[in-house]
Structure 1
């Protein structure tokens, strides 16, 4: 039996042991209790939502004119510079025409010939050798005509064969028997044969004209044998005709002037130095830089959502402008991205407001608004995650995470429309992780 003095001595130790046991139990409970997860939150908002297609674009002058040389000749140095203002009809380039100069010399030679022949009409009639030469010329031109007409027939046969080849190539290409390159080669061959046939027809026409000229020359010589007075009138008429032609050629040969067809500015000087140029050589680019349009190449998948009339938000540095889609081009083209991936892209053409702030060829960032609504329930995209083939979010409710399934609609780059499952003002967990579970305690980061 334990005495009272002995029990009184052991009582403090029992209290200490009991305290230690209680503290240990409390510590184990606290350690085993799940700690709240720190989360970042956002609110469900009600407001305007825009869905855009974002891309880079470029400004360009809407009506661009490229002035090209109209004749072969010597180009004078162009003194205009990029940015110079031109009016309609202003002289922008000058060309000394070499062919016109040659034509003048030929006309002078013919004039001298007709004058010499007129002077000798009364004293010298055409001789037998001249008539024989004229007949020989007719025979030569007729033989040349027959050769050329034979080439026309040959070119016609080659063209018909090329057409049949092209038809077969198109049929086999449509069935996959031959490649598209083979079909394009057949089409190119047909075009080449068509051009050869056209050239042969033109040559045949020229040959017939030469025969007619030779026959007229013989008839003229024969008439000269019996009617010198008539020949005098003929030569007078020819001299007058050549003199009129000579006056015209001399006027044209002096200088050919290129004039501006539009009021605007010089965009580019393509040929500045004095040099010999051929017909069709580009010399200048002209246009009105106050009349700009936007050219935006977007992915073909995005182009399906773009329609004429869509608003365009244009950014260039600190400049913000508004525009509108005028045309979506019907054909796509292949473009290699910065990552080396080939993409199919489509040009979207837009009109821009206040274009004088920008210039031709400026790079801009463009957002094409393909959908918008003024009063939409929306949440940040970072709050959504997939769950059971649906979209879900975590709502913060009384310090705990509550998982909800939502129905989403349109979405922009940062937010998405909520059609069902949430109400405005509710707190959502942004960037949910695997630590967050339904009914898990959370704490909100400041």
Structure 2
């Protein structure tokens, strides 16, 4: 009995030691982070910095030489059409010879012809504005019945704002041409008289808007053509962003966009691409790399009160949507790696990592669209390291690990 007990005891002890040795050297599952391949909405955007600008900035210059009276305007002041921006006491007119007098008379005729052309353009702009209003009203009714989409209504609203801006520009052009005629007549009025004029020449605003810059404030002599003030209408605010040419070719007019970075904790402002400029230019990045850039012009599509705090030349960030799909099968970019010049992932199957080639479509830097190789619900390994190989056992890392 004693011999049998010893035999059983040492046999059991040997088996236990052998099992311990085998367990110690048995390959342990590799702890990994995982994520599922899921179907959902996916968007690809191009992003870059931009700045706001007023579409039409009016640089008001002195039409005649003389003495400028002190300007009471300051940047940010609201102005209405016809408000006096500056006042000039014209200098003594010089005696004009026959040739100069003929040139002055020709300048009046030229200004009158330009006024006629401006009035014709104003009529055309008024017709376009009436058509844009009718289109907007019609699409608004169709939107209420569900026939037209919100995108069509937004596009009609943008067209209406553009037509209104064009009509305002046409009216401003008429007032500017009238001012040119007045200045030309003042120049001719004193021809050959040599008398000192005491009439004060008032420079009036051609638009409703705000004062952007006061270029000359103090009283003193001023030459014809000298810049005095810059004015503009903030209702015509737009965004111009400098995108890499490789990104710019992916977008086109009408693409939706969002504007961020203009105020802390502010929601994105909706916008739409109006124009992709055809001219590229070279620019150096902060790292000294030469880049080819293209200006993309965007319009706000939301109500003006949402972006009313913005002004001319403010920095913003523009994100343009170049691709979107609601039912895209996608995986995190962190799961992808190159294998035999193709994309691949490690798919988890019954506790083991299986090397799985995949075909990738769109990529937004965070998620990648999967065209072939995976199905919805498959789990893949994130950031696969050297310890993860085809067929190796894996265990998903818990949160506390």
TM-score, normalised to structure 1, is: 0.63
- Residue 277 in structure 1 maps to residue 222 in structure 2: yes
Aligned length: 301
Say if 1:436 and 1:249 are closer, same or farther in 2 by CA, change over 3 A.
Answer: farther
Please tell me whether Structure 1 or Structure 2 has the larger radius of gyration of its CA atoms: 1
CA contact (8 A) 2:244 2:292 kept: yes
- Residue 338 in structure 1 maps to residue 286 in structure 2: yes
- Residue 436 in structure 1 maps to residue 388 in structure 2: yes
Q: How does 1:300-311 map to 2 (within 5 A)?
A: 300-311=245-256
Say if 1:249 and 1:49 are closer, same or farther in 2 by CA, change over 3 A.
Answer: farther
Instruction: Report the Cα offset of residue 14 of structure 1.
Output: 4.6
| 1:400 aligns with one of 352, 356, 381 | 352
Say if 1:244 and 1:309 are closer, same or farther in 2 by CA, change over 3 A.
Answer: closer
Q: Which has the higher helix share?
A: 1
Instruction: Report the Cα offset of residue 102 of structure 1.
Output: 4.3
Q: How does 1:209-228 map to 2 (within 5 A)?
A: none
Residue aligning to 1:329: 277
Q: How does 1:48-87 map to 2 (within 5 A)?
A: 48-87=41-80
Instruction: Report the Cα offset of residue 368 of structure 1.
Output: 0.7
Question: What value does the CA root-mean-square deviation take over the aligned residues?
Answer: 2.4
Residue aligning to 1:216: none
Instruction: Report the Cα offset of residue 245 of structure 1.
Output: 5.2
Large movers: runs of 4+ above 4 Å: 8-16, 242-251
Residue aligning to 1:292: 237
TM-score, normalised to structure 2, is: 0.70
* In 2: Cα distance, 1:270 partner to 1:16 partner: 104
Instruction: Report the Cα offset of residue 250 of structure 1.
Output: 5.3
Instruction: Report the Cα offset of residue 358 of structure 1.
Output: 2.2
Q: How does 1:32-431 map to 2 (within 5 A)?
A: 32-98=25-91, 101-103=92-94, 254-315=199-260, 316=262, 317=264, 318-353=266-301, 354=303, 355-431=307-383
* In 1: Cα distance, 2:70 partner to 2:10 partner: 110
Q: Which runs of 5+ in 1 are unaligned?
A: 1-7, 111-241
Q: Which runs of 5+ in 2 are unaligned?
A: 98-187
* In 2: Cα distance, 1:51 partner to 1:440 partner: 34
Cα displacement string for residues 230-288 of structure 1 (whole angstroms, at most 9, x for unaligned residues): xxxxxxxxxxxx9985789755x532221111111111111122232222222111111
